[in-house]
Structure 1
Amino acid sequence: MGVKVAALLEKIKFDVIYSSETALEKEITTSDVTRPGLEMTGYLAYYTPERIQLFGMKEWSYAQNVIGDNRYDLLKNVVTDETPAIIVARDLAIQDEMICVAKKRDTVLLQSSETTSRINGQITAFLDEQLAVRSTVHGVLMDIFGIGVLIQGASGIGKSETALELVKLGHRLVADDRVDIYKKDNLTVMGHPAELLKHLMELRGVGIINVMTLFGTGAVKGGSQIDLAVYLETYEANNAFDRLGIDDTQIDLAGVHVPQTRIPVKTGRNVAVIIEAAVMNFRAKTMGFDSTKMFMDSLSVEIAHNKEV
């Protein structure tokens, strides 16, 4: 499944030189963008017509120096019926032959004042997100102190209630119950709410509430990177919980390893505040301040000192 050219135009601003209803319905199936350098010399052995064709100063200058019918034939080879769009950067003047080819191939022709590298970056970032394989996980995604936190646990453990308390503490809800995730790169996984559930939260005994309506626009966020996972579980006296913070537990989300903290839940524990502390501790660790390591180092020194005595 691809992204329609019309969706690209809604996201990124271009001057439209030529378009049609059918051209706007063409689908972009890859985030790769081609600058047709070798192709314009006639070398088409590894040409990929399904990519957006981006013309910068080099490609434009070469086409500008090809005279008359040769220029039309050259562009006709580069732009095929499969080509979703042609983009000319830097507000470079568009040759008549390029407009004729765009009409013949029924391919959207666009112009931008931006540089080729900037256009390439904008298009690639947008298409990478849109074309990424998505999956769904059960839980609540929150933005806490700028850290994306996925709260998980068994049904009825209190995930939504904890999230509501975190919203009251000034943090932002991204998604409740269902979190759509995708891999942005090898180190980054992103989470978004399902369109139908955006800004909504289910509370047992109350029903469905709209967090943005009740708490304002500052209480919600459209999407977030998932930096930390928190798993809530029922406190049992015979369960072994990490009391020093030395466990290095990770979970796999869309092929990305995300650190996980397990928090026992029982009456009297303020889970929202505990999660806040866990997030602050996680952020401190990423900055090189590890309280557990400092404690263990101090303990080792104390033990060594007592042995000497």
Structure 2
Amino acid sequence: MRKPQPFRRESIRVEAMVTRLRERVGIDLEVGGIGPSERKVTTRHVLRPGLVLAGYTEHFESARVQILGNTECRYLAWLGDGAADAFSTLLSFDPPCIILTAGNRLPDGLAALADNAGVPLYRTPRPTVPFMGMLRDVLTDHFAEQLTVHGSLVDVYGIGLLLTGAAGIGKSEMALDLVERGHRLVADDVVMATRTGTGILMGAGTDLAEHFMEIRGLGIIDVKAMFGVRAIRYQKRIEVVVKIHPWDENEEYTRIGMVTETEPILGVDLPIVKLPITPGKNVTVICEVIAMNHLLRHYGYDPAEAFTERLRKRIESKEGRAVGRGVDWFERDFE
């Protein structure tokens, strides 16, 4: 079976970008030009073209979305009759679109120049810096590196556990058991992993499968319809990989947990727990313990290190006595 390869989107239509922005902020079409559907954005970076308006065009990144805030708009108004030439210089590079922030408007006649050049012009009441942050979030997510992972992603006590393993080993059954115990399903069978700009790995399901699950011998079930909205999530950070496989006598399994193994996914090193399954083993409870143990380590407590430190102190004390009871005497409790 061919291993899935990471992929990135190469472009986004201006129309699609604006649609996503409308869901977050108020962005209105000022001049349509030739229509935003004909134009594409090919980079996640944005630019405020103040130097270009001033006449310096060397190293100008014209493929970026151009943002005109208070400074740029007031500069054009200050230019007076020279504003048309300055704005025409910007339009000559054919940027994908121009967005006016903070409720600004262009001086008279400049909007018509954009219309004639076929460059879509938008306006939003949002301040420049917050709006640019939102726009970067939209573009960064769109152009982020993605990978299709075969497995189940479940939110267990706030920790995203990615259950992986061979087909038919029981990943979906484990995820279903965790949901029945009050945890939340993110995706089953196919997990879309996306690396964010901060090096965090996010996971989500596909738009087709959503929160449907295939249980061998039973068929397709709808987790949301069966367990309610409390049992699902649409996205979750992937924090621990749980690799499920049959018990192998030749495999080296962690007994103490002093060495943490990792598995890279899209360049992000995630801690991995190899979980062998045998008849009668309650793997669902073990998954809960994996999540809680990860929480303990996150908050600075490592059980393996605590036990090792206790053992070290016993050895250094040179008491020379064997391991005894955990209590010096029994209280009057004979249950």
Question: What does 1:92-103 align with in structure 2 at a 5 Å threshold?
Answer: 92-103=104-115
- Match status 1:276 vs 2:288: yes
> Kindly tell me: are residues 301 and 175 of structure 1, through their superposed partners in 2, closer, same or farther at Cα, counting changes over 3 Å?
same
Corresponding residue number in structure 1 for 2:95: 83
Q: Does the aligned pair in 1 maintain the 2:193–2:204 contact within 8 Å?
A: yes
Q: Which runs of 5+ in 2 are unaligned?
A: 1-9, 322-335
Deviates most, 288-297 or 215-224: 215-224
Corresponding residue number in structure 2 for 1:195: 207
SS of the residue corresponding to residue 66 of structure 1 reads: helix
Corresponding residue number in structure 2 for 1:147: 159
SS of the residue corresponding to residue 110 of structure 1 reads: strand
Q: Matched residues in 1 for 2:270 and 2:34: separation? A: 43
Q: Matched residues in 1 for 2:240 and 2:104: separation? A: 46
Q: Which runs of 5+ in 1 are unaligned?
A: none
Superposed displacement of residue 249, structure 1: 0.5
AA aligned opposite 1:9: V
Q: Matched residues in 2 for 1:21 and 1:219: separation? A: 46
User: Among 18, 28, 48, which residue is 1:35 paired with?
Assistant: 48
SS of the residue corresponding to residue 268 of structure 1 reads: coil
- Match status 1:223 vs 2:235: yes
The CA deviation string for residues 41-82 of structure 1, in whole angstroms up to 9 with x for no partner, is 1000111111111111111111110112x2112112113464
User: Among 195, 200, 215, which residue is 1:183 paired with?
Assistant: 195
> Kindly tell me: are residues 181 and 64 of structure 1, through their superposed partners in 2, closer, same or farther at Cα, counting changes over 3 Å?
same
Superposed displacement of residue 257, structure 1: 0.8
The CA deviation string for residues 214-261 of structure 1, in whole angstroms up to 9 with x for no partner, is 122222222222111111121245543212112211001011111111
Q: Matched residues in 1 for 2:222 and 2:110: separation? A: 50
- Report the structure, 1 or 2, having the larger helix content: 1
Corresponding residue number in structure 1 for 2:62: 49
Corresponding residue number in structure 1 for 2:17: 8
> Kindly tell me: are residues 295 and 202 of structure 1, through their superposed partners in 2, closer, same or farther at Cα, counting changes over 3 Å?
same
Q: Does the aligned pair in 1 maintain the 2:13–2:36 contact within 8 Å?
A: no
Q: Matched residues in 1 for 2:43 and 2:123: separation? A: 20
SS of the residue corresponding to residue 300 of structure 2 reads: coil
Superposed displacement of residue 8, structure 1: 1.8
User: Among 116, 130, 141, which residue is 1:118 paired with?
Assistant: 130
Percent identity, please: 31
Q: Matched residues in 2 for 1:253 and 1:35: separation? A: 35
User: Among 31, 53, 56, which residue is 1:18 paired with?
Assistant: 31
SS of the residue corresponding to residue 185 of structure 1 reads: coil
- Report the structure, 1 or 2, having the larger strand content: 1
Deviates most, 232-241 or 140-149: 232-241
The CA deviation string for residues 105-151 of structure 1, in whole angstroms up to 9 with x for no partner, is 22221111211111111011111111123221111111222222111
Superposed displacement of residue 102, structure 1: 2.1
Corresponding residue number in structure 1 for 2:145: 133
Q: Does the aligned pair in 1 maintain the 2:33–2:116 contact within 8 Å?
A: no
Corresponding residue number in structure 2 for 1:58: 71
Q: Does the aligned pair in 2 maintain the 1:27–1:84 contact within 8 Å?
A: yes
Across the aligned residues of Structure 1 and Structure 2, the Cα RMSD in angstroms comes to 1.8
Bigger radius of gyration: 2
AA aligned opposite 1:6: E
Q: Matched residues in 2 for 1:80 and 1:168: separation? A: 60
SS of the residue corresponding to residue 44 of structure 2 reads: coil
Superposed displacement of residue 206, structure 1: 1.1
Q: Matched residues in 2 for 1:80 and 1:33: separation? A: 18
Superposed displacement of residue 308, structure 1: 6.7
Superposed displacement of residue 31, structure 1: 1.0
AA aligned opposite 2:295: R
Corresponding residue number in structure 2 for 1:302: 314
Superposed displacement of residue 16, structure 1: 1.6
Superposed displacement of residue 187, structure 1: 2.7
Q: Matched residues in 2 for 1:21 and 1:216: separation? A: 46
Deviates most, 127-136 or 286-295: 127-136
Superposed displacement of residue 186, structure 1: 5.3
Q: Matched residues in 1 for 2:199 and 2:80: separation? A: 49
